[in-house]
Amino acid sequence: MFVEKIKIDNMKLSISSTFDAGNIEVINAENPKNVQLKIRKDTNSDFLQWFYFRVQGAKDQACTLHLTNAGEAAYPDGWENYQARASYDRVNWFQIPTKYVNGVLTMDLTPECDAIYIAYFAPFSYEQHLDLVNNAQQSPLCELETIGQTTQGRPIDFLRIGDGDPSKKKLWVIARQHPGESMAEWFMLGLVDRLLDEEDATSVSLLSKANLYLIPNMNIDGSILGNLRVNAKGINFNREWAEPSIENSPEVYYAKEKMREIGMDFCLDVHGDEALPYVFLSGIEGIPSFDEKLSQLSSRFMTEWKSASPDMQDVHGYPKNEPGKANLMIGSKNIGEEFHCLSQTLEMPFKQNDNIPDGIVGWSAERSIKLGESLVSTVLNIVDDL
């Protein structure tokens, strides 16, 4: 018996995004060589940049996809030298080249399977988030607490790692205020897994001196909605820290309440940057109470992190604030001022680390995980002075 697979000509493409973190609008997918798409705006907001969709029915067929409104993105510089991420199994993500011309982002691809997923960066889904916190809670070192509810009624998950001894240092790490920056939660996965590894002498040593307080995803609703920067109400959390509200930004409100209840000696707020192809920190030089101690801690933190991971660098980054000119609505600056402690924003690239580029996957989930792991040794080297 011989069965021949018959190639069906003119098979129509099916493009979908009705899944966790999905984002795309189809204008016209009749012709695989000229597929016209649009990035959907964030919920109740004009921001747009995150996309994540499935193309089905184009196996072995050359396709050209146009994101026609890429020029209206929050950070159009993000498209220069950018490569999209694609996957057949949503586990292994690789780069596909793009061209950005006259406000349109174009990608050419010939899928090897019936369905291919295309995203702005390797997604970190809500199911993966639940796996992260549910796996963590099974360690005797970790407790999972709900500190409030999002505006769409989901629990805001908070992890305590350590023995809770109040005389130890109190270290906070929060991530993904901006939901499209999924590398931030990959970072948290690496950090949490290393902290809970009881065979890791660095983690054991750090936990002998400190407790860690972690919010792995500050913006659950926005993540599920497929937003770049805001929650379901259209609020950018990283401009809410001066006056958070239960109504519009409960994640920030309850995080800040918890920080006041527990106290803080260190905070890292984890993000991704659309434009700069480097890992970097943004500091608190511009807060009113910045002093010699915070200055020295900031430099030591950078020196230690560079030595723990060559992905960290301080040549490229945002311009430093002038003294007293920091925007205290921003999380790390507001926290640094209120708790008078070392408080920094970490930025990872959507593109590459140009210092150590990877042509196949670009900056990736795996690199973000390893950077998260490297925070443990970095902080161990400065914890006594925090």
Site track 130-169 with Zn ion (rule: CB under 5 A), x = hit: ----------------------------------------
104: β partners: 101
CB 41 within 8 A of CB 112: no
CB of 338 to Zn ion, least distance (A): 20
Q: How deeply is 360 buried, as exposed, middle or buried, from its count of CB atoms within 10 A (0-12, 13-18, 19+)?
A: exposed
Beta-carbon contacts of 134 under 8 Å, excluding residues fewer than 6 positions away, are 144
- Per the annotation, the verdict on 347 as an active-site residue is yes
Characterise 121 by phi-psi region: left (phi > 0), alpha (psi -120 to 50), beta (else): beta
Smaller CB separation from Zn ion, 40 or 271? 271
CB of 271 to Zn ion, least distance (A): 3
Task: Check binding of 271 to Zn ion (CB under 5 A).
Answer: yes
Range in contact with Zn ion (rule: CB under 5 A) among 123-131, 176-184, 319-327, 368-376: 176-184
Cα of first residue to Cα of last residue in the chain, in angstroms, is: 74
Q: Give the CA count within 13 Å in the CB-facing half-sphere of 19.
A: 15
Range in contact with Zn ion (rule: CB under 5 A) among 5-13, 157-165, 185-193, 265-273: 265-273
CB of 365 to Zn ion, least distance (A): 17
Neighbours of 349 (CB within 10 A): 26
Task: Tally DSSP H helices, then E strands, for the chain.
Answer: 8, 16
CB of 178 to Zn ion, least distance (A): 3
Smaller CB separation from Zn ion, 41 or 271? 271
| Dist CA 370 CA 356 (whole Å) | 14
Residue 285, helix vs strand vs coil: coil
> Considering 304, 337, 347, 373, which one is annotated as catalytic?
347
Task: Check binding of 178 to Zn ion (CB under 5 A).
Answer: yes
Smaller CB separation from Zn ion, 116 or 326? 326
Range in contact with Zn ion (rule: CB under 5 A) among 19-27, 81-89, 144-152, 271-279: 271-279
Site track 285-324 with Zn ion (rule: CB under 5 A), x = hit: ----------------------------------------
Smaller CB separation from Zn ion, 107 or 218? 218
| Dist CA 141 CA 53 (whole Å) | 38
CB of 278 to Zn ion, least distance (A): 15
105: β partners: 67, 100
CB of 63 to Zn ion, least distance (A): 31
Range in contact with Zn ion (rule: CB under 5 A) among 35-43, 57-65, 119-127, 180-188: 180-188
Q: How deeply is 200 buried, as exposed, middle or buried, from its count of CB atoms within 10 A (0-12, 13-18, 19+)?
A: middle
CB 331 within 8 A of CB 177: yes
CB 24 within 8 A of CB 15: yes
| Dist CA 30 CA 240 (whole Å) | 44
CB of 181 to Zn ion, least distance (A): 5
H/E run at residue 380: helix 365-380
Task: Check binding of 85 to Zn ion (CB under 5 A).
Answer: no
Task: Check binding of 333 to Zn ion (CB under 5 A).
Answer: no
Task: Check binding of 258 to Zn ion (CB under 5 A).
Answer: no
CB of 71 to Zn ion, least distance (A): 21
Q: How deeply is 63 buried, as exposed, middle or buried, from its count of CB atoms within 10 A (0-12, 13-18, 19+)?
A: buried
Catalytic residues: 347
Write out the residues near Zn ion by the rule CB under 5 A.
Answer: 178, 181, 271
